[in-house]
Chains A and B, each alone.
Chain A
Amino acid sequence: MFLRLLYESFRRQKRRKLLAGVAIMLGVGVATAMIAVATDIGDKISRELRTYGANLIVTPQEDTLDVEIGGVNLKPPSDGAYLNEADLPRIKGMFWRNNIVGFAPMLPVSVNLGDGKNMTLLGTYFSHHVIFGQQDFVTGVRSTHPWWKVQGAWPDDNSRDVLLGAHLAAKLDRTPGQEIEIAGEPRRIAGILSTGGPEDDQIVAPLALAQQILGKPGAVRRIYVSAVTKPEDAFARRDPKSLSPEMYDRWYCSPYAQSIAFQLQEAIPHSHAEQIRQVAQNEGTVLSRIQGLMLLITLAALLASALAVSASMATAVIERRGEVGLMKALGAGNLAVAVLFFAEAALLALLAGAAGFAGGALLAREIGRSIFASQITVQPVLLPVILTIAVLVTFIGSAAAIRRAVKFDPVYALRGDV
């Protein structure tokens, strides 16, 4: 009998149920999409912030002091220690290897262009294939320094072609495709590089060429690493040596800039890794601001959804006062009527909530695709949570209206007095 009442209520009042259902669907859909976007936004913005370039730098442990003004190194070229290029692939063997967006080794050397003046030639990877175990990984300045713009073509990492800084090219009056004599040998200019930094006055070449000019195969002066990190907090700043074993594991397994620097130091022998504070610190502030903002907006979305659901449920119940009167006149108790209404509300919330969840997941995916050009996936774990919230909100929204409908004297209700 109860089931039949329930079934008939849905069958006979399709329009009204549909209206309330649409409101629930919309509310749940918006809530789902906003929660999905808010939980994922940290990761998405963090990847966008990688436009700022490398946030970690690895230098030789025994390095002498840099004597550098405006990007021009005044230190004698023979001075200082080097890292070994053969150790580089080990970066992809670290615990947080999937957070490493890219890395680029740098080797500045001093070269003579034949006119007696010394220039800086910077050896690096452009988009180099690095193989570690089964992994094949492409890295270089094109991922760590995304603001570098080349007019012409990027040189191949295995070639001996070079890029000419924009200022230098203007001064020497060279265009891509021409040749330039570097250290006594002619090299082809693949493109003109513009960075807005000291590289505009330098020559940038494949790493192997710089090593050949220096006469030290495998030498690297420093490595820039671009990693997706978590904003720094008090725990991140603790000294790993002072932590208990469990705390140490937790510290080691959190993607803080500090712990990734620590792991880089472990991966590359005789190295010193440090965060580039300009990039790493500000990334943390910007990220926490954006996450805070999204959290507040998600709360606003939840509030609006809850209101929409309860308003439409209240309206739906009040419209059925006459029906309540009839049921009571036929001998139904207050409890029986209330249970029927709540069962209807729960069924509606579950059906529309599930549909809304699917719609919200689609919406979140669409937002991810169109704004961030990457996936935002909704965690399936969210479904029971969202459905419970939907049922609860529907109950709360209809509770006051059901109470009033049940208390209403059936005589008045049937007579149509409101």
Chain B
Amino acid sequence: MFLRMLVRAAVLRRGRAAAALLAMVVAAAVATAMLNLYVDVQAKLRHEFRKYGANVVVVARDGQSLPANALATVEAALGSGGGIAVPFAYAVARTSDGRSVVVAGTDFAQVQKLDSTWWSVTGWPKSAHEALIGARAASVVGGAGNAFDLSFQGRAIRLNPVGTLRTGAAEDSRIYVSLADFTAWTQVPYSTVEISAAGSPQEITAIIQRLGQALPAAEVRAVRQVTEGQANVLGKMRATLLVAAILIILTAAVCVLSTLTGWVSDRRRDFALMKALGASGRMLQSFFAAEAAALGAIGSSLGFMIGVGAAIWIGRANFHAPVSPRLSVLPLVLLGGIVIALIAAIVPISLLRRVQPATILRGE
């Protein structure tokens, strides 16, 4: 009987029930999308900030060199967290007309991953004896296309420039070759490992500590310029999003509240009729409460699905990576929906309880 009343009430007043349900669904969807974004935006923005390049640097101490397995040690310490480690070796070579120029050896495939956005490169070296020329170094060795000679401690190498590099910083005055070419030519091992470690500031500090213990001969330091800037902006963004989420959820709640209040007070004749037929106050209250709770539960679970969809779409459209749906948000949204629906039902019912059924039925 109770169930039948619930179902019939919804079926007979399809229009009003649908309006209330729609308000609930939209509010729950907006709330879900905001909460999902709030939880996920940190990770998304952190991903953007990793484009600034290395946030941790491992360098050999004065007069020492890094152990031969330093790169493998670093990669082991980074674990599966998705960090990038790039070795760099440096030497000062002389051009054929006797001018000094810094030559660096590195792993081009890894550099492309580490500094993708700000190394403006016209062509990456692919095979042996190909070189990447810094924009300012190009004046010393001649333009692209002409092979040139360099010498280091009496050993000569002939390099073929395949592209120019422009960063606006020290890299512009250097010539980059592959690490294999570099060590075969100079016999100088790599002295620096630049690392882009993923994760929160605490996780990065932990990685620095791990690296320090694994490589006692080297100096491991955070690139403060990068880490501090990131922490600063992320903190502000998180606070802004929190305020926005609270405001939007509040507005959505008001929308649901006013729709449901209208829905319930619209049915005061049902209420009066039931009371006239002998239903107790408690019975009526539980009937309306059950109705509201069912509406809240159905509306917010539908809204949750739509909201997750919206969050995924926003992630794709804005960050070009999907926002992963957070199931932890579901109980929050569900509970919030039911509580708001109950509040919306209780206020008009308690107002109506004081009124005589006869007055309502007479239409006053």
* 14 CB-based A-B contacts, threshold 8 Å: A23-B255, A27-B254, A30-B248, A30-B250, A52-B225, A70-B90, A285-B117, A286-B233, A289-B318, A296-B314, A314-B259, A314-B262, A322-B363, A418-B269
Q: Chain A: which residue is nearest B254 at the CB level? A: A308
- Whether B228 contacts A296 by the Cβ 8 Å rule is no
Q: Chain B: which residue is nearest A37 at the CB level? A: B240
- Whether A278 contacts B266 by the Cβ 8 Å rule is no
A246 at the interface (CB under 8 A from B): no
- Whether A68 contacts B250 by the Cβ 8 Å rule is no
* Nearest 4 A/B pairs, CB to CB: A416-B363, A315-B262, A196-B224, A308-B255
- Whether A26 contacts B225 by the Cβ 8 Å rule is no
- Whether A277 contacts B254 by the Cβ 8 Å rule is no
B274 at the interface (CB under 8 A from A): no
Smallest CB–CB gap between A145 and chain B, Å?
Answer: 8
A85 at the interface (CB under 8 A from B): no
B169 at the interface (CB under 8 A from A): yes
- 6 more contacts with CB within 8 A, not counting A289-B44, A290-B45, A371-B240, are A26-B250, A33-B247, A48-B232, A276-B167, A315-B262, A319-B266
A21-42 to B contact mask, C-beta < 8 Å, 1/0 = 0110011001001100100010
B137 at the interface (CB under 8 A from A): yes
| Residues of chain A within 8 A of B259, CB atoms compared | 311, 314-315
B192 at the interface (CB under 8 A from A): yes
- Whether B27 contacts A304 by the Cβ 8 Å rule is yes
Smallest CB–CB gap between A5 and chain B, Å?
Answer: 22
Q: Chain B: which residue is nearest A272 at the CB level? A: B136
Interface residues of B (CB under 8 A from A): 19, 23, 26-27, 30, 33-34, 37, 41, 44-45, 48-49, 51-53, 59, 90, 92, 99-102, 115, 117-120, 136-137, 139-140, 166-170, 173, 191-192, 221-226, 228-229, 232-233, 236-237, 239-241, 243-244, 247-248, 250-252, 254-256, 258-259, 261-262, 265-266, 269, 314, 317-319, 361-364
- Whether B59 contacts A74 by the Cβ 8 Å rule is no
Smallest CB–CB gap between A286 and chain B, Å?
Answer: 5
Complex: how many Å from CA A303 to CA B237?
22
Task: Give A28-71 interface residues, CB cut-off 8 Å to B.
Answer: 30, 33-34, 37, 41, 44-45, 48-49, 51-53, 57, 65-70
Complex: how many Å from CA A274 to CA B167?
9
Interface residues of A (CB under 8 A from B): 19-20, 22-23, 26-27, 30, 33-34, 37, 41, 44-45, 48-49, 51-53, 57, 65-70, 74-75, 145-147, 195-197, 274-282, 285-286, 289-290, 292-294, 296-297, 300-301, 303-305, 307-308, 311-312, 314-315, 318-319, 322, 363, 367, 370-372, 414-416, 418
Among the interface residues B117, B118, B362, which one has the most CB atoms of the partner chain A within 10 A? B118
Complex: how many Å from CA A313 to CA B80?
55
- Tally A-B pairs: CB < 8 A: 216
Smallest CB–CB gap between B268 and chain A, Å?
Answer: 9
Complex: how many Å from CA A67 to CA B174?
8
If A286-B233, A414-B363, A418-B269 touch, does A147 touch B250 (CB 8 Å cutoff)? no
Smallest CB–CB gap between A232 and chain B, Å?
Answer: 11
Complex: how many Å from CA A290 to CA B99?
46
| Residues of chain B within 8 A of A303, CB atoms compared | 26, 30
If A278-B118, A297-B244, A371-B243 touch, does A305 touch B251 (CB 8 Å cutoff)? yes
| Residues of chain A within 8 A of B166, CB atoms compared | 277
Complex: how many Å from CA A74 to CA B102?
10
Smallest CB–CB gap between B358 and chain A, Å?
Answer: 12
Complex: how many Å from CA A214 to CA B228?
34
The residue from A53, A196, A415 contacting B222, defined by CB atoms under 8 A apart: A196
| Residues of chain B within 8 A of A145, CB atoms compared | 225
- Whether B23 contacts A311 by the Cβ 8 Å rule is yes
- Whether A416 contacts B236 by the Cβ 8 Å rule is no
| Residues of chain B within 8 A of A274, CB atoms compared | 168
| Residues of chain A within 8 A of B59, CB atoms compared | 70
The residue from A282, A308, A370, A416 contacting B258, defined by CB atoms under 8 A apart: A308
If A282-B117, A303-B30 touch, does A296 touch B318 (CB 8 Å cutoff)? yes
The residue from B34, B48, B118, B269 contacting A300, defined by CB atoms under 8 A apart: B34
| Residues of chain B within 8 A of A23, CB atoms compared | 254-255, 258
| Residues of chain B within 8 A of A371, CB atoms compared | 236, 239-240, 243
- Whether A311 contacts B225 by the Cβ 8 Å rule is no
- Whether A26 contacts B228 by the Cβ 8 Å rule is no
- Whether B237 contacts A45 by the Cβ 8 Å rule is yes
Complex: how many Å from CA A274 to CA B237?
29
Complex: how many Å from CA A290 to CA B42?
11
- Whether A26 contacts B139 by the Cβ 8 Å rule is no
If A53-B225, A74-B100 touch, does A34 touch B26 (CB 8 Å cutoff)? no
- Whether B52 contacts A19 by the Cβ 8 Å rule is no
Complex: how many Å from CA A178 to CA B289?
77
If A26-B250, A274-B168, A286-B45 touch, does A69 touch B92 (CB 8 Å cutoff)? yes
Complex: how many Å from CA A34 to CA B247?
9
| Residues of chain A within 8 A of B314, CB atoms compared | 293, 296
Smallest CB–CB gap between A297 and chain B, Å?
Answer: 5
- Whether A277 contacts B169 by the Cβ 8 Å rule is yes
- Whether A372 contacts B236 by the Cβ 8 Å rule is yes
- Whether B255 contacts A304 by the Cβ 8 Å rule is yes
- Whether B251 contacts A67 by the Cβ 8 Å rule is no
- Whether A315 contacts B168 by the Cβ 8 Å rule is no
- Whether B100 contacts A67 by the Cβ 8 Å rule is yes
- Whether A49 contacts B258 by the Cβ 8 Å rule is no
Smallest CB–CB gap between A292 and chain B, Å?
Answer: 4
| Residues of chain A within 8 A of B120, CB atoms compared | 277
| Residues of chain B within 8 A of A75, CB atoms compared | 100
| Residues of chain A within 8 A of B256, CB atoms compared | 311
| Residues of chain B within 8 A of A372, CB atoms compared | 236
